[in-house]
Amino acid sequence: MAKSLNTQMVRALSALTLVAFGVMFFGWMFYYTVIYEWFYTDASYSEKWNTGDFIVLGLILAIGLSAAALVGWRLALTIVRPLKAVASAARSIAGGDFSIRAEPMQTSFGEAESLISDFNAMASRLESAEAELRYSNSAIAHELRTPLTILRGRLQGLSDGVFTPSPEIYGRLLAHVEDLTRIVEDLRTLGLSNADRLDLTLDQIDLADEAEAAIASVEQDLIGAGITVERDLESAVVLADKARVRQILFAILDNARRYAPNSTVVIRTRRTKDRAVIRCSDTGPGLPPGAEERAFDRFWRADDSRTRARGGSGLGLPIVQAIARAHGGDAAFIDTGGKGAAIEIWLPATATD
């Protein structure tokens, strides 16, 4: 562990002071006890300074200044080297190369190690953010292209008389508009969450009641997908945004409908000492090994072509996690040993009498 800069400066200045004192004290003693008697054997003692005195004083000052310059140079080099490494890496990052990292110094002081470590961590996060931004821009364009292309084709066909206007055609057009609206609203929610500007209207709500209401709203759609819903609901009171909690529940139920058809879905609510938990598990195919973390990435799909055919945008789970974190909680997939999938959302529990 490298010593701190304060420690090194105190030691260096203390050593310099001791060296200067030693040079002055022992230099004068050596001069008057050895050199003076040797050069001026017949001279009587005089308080006036002679040429030799000035020469010795000059030599002592030269030695002291040389020692001070050497210590100062070494100390300045110790301080400047890590700063130059960080400055060089910062210039590269400013030029758009987010892969650059500041090279750790082998003999640097403790503060420099912390600076370089923090700078490299910042550069790593910037690189990840840049990669995510590029991927998100490409994915957003891809997601919007399909419904816009369909809308343009249908409207052009209606304009040219290729299609006969009918309630069915208008219904399909409205469905595509609703898809676009949903994607835009999801992106807006994620953008507000990333900026810590997601507005929440907090009230005391019971997750068990909200889960029951959400299941009742979509139960027919779940039954249509061959899904059997089982409830295991215990009272769990939280201070949360009711609409956002409903959004979480609808998202995880819709996720189960899309990717775990003909399975059994179990919705549980629990309360621990400091947490209120919603857990949704199914007996479907589950996630590929190692996909639990990526499942919360924007636009990520375990099976891209199959997921698009089922209409998913890849934004449902990221929004679930964003809303949970906006409440001070989080969301994560739970290991089920390869038997289906299970996602758990927890929020801070409300103290109740």
What CATH number is attached to the domain comprising 159?
A: 1.10.287
Say which CATH number the domain at 286 has: 3.30.565.10
214 and 113 assigned to the same domain: no
Residue 21 maps to a domain: yes
- Asked if residue 276 and residue 143 are part of one domain, the reply reads no
What predicted TM-score, i.e. pTM, was given to this entire model?
0.62
- How many Å apart are CA 214 and CA 345, to the nearest integer? 15
For residues 88 and 172, state if they share a domain. Answer: no
Pick the last residue of a domain from 145, 172, 194. Answer: 194
Which pLDDT score, from 0 to 100, does residue 47 have? Answer: 59
Q: Do residues 216 and 291 share a domain?
A: yes
Q: Per-block average pLDDT, block size 10, for the chain (353 residues)?
A: 59 69 68 62 57 67 71 74 86 87 74 84 86 74 78 87 85 83 82 81 92 92 91 93 92 88 93 91 81 72 50 76 92 82 89 48
Using CB atoms within 10 A of its CB, is residue 258 exposed (0-12), middle (13-18) or buried (19+)?
A: middle
Residue where a domain stops, chosen among 88, 105, 124:
124
Residue 309: the pLDDT is 46
CA angle 226, 230, 235 (to 5 degrees): 145
My answer on whether 243 and 340 are in the same domain is yes
Task: Clarify whether residues 185 and 56 are in a common domain.
Answer: no
Would residue 172 count as lying in a domain? yes
Are 210 and 344 in the same domain? yes
d(CA 46, CA 41): 13
Domain containing residue 181: 135-194
The total number of structural domains in the chain stands at 3
| pLDDT value, residue 285 | 85
**What's the pLDDT at 313?**
65
Q: How far apart are CA 25 and CA 32, in angstroms?
A: 11
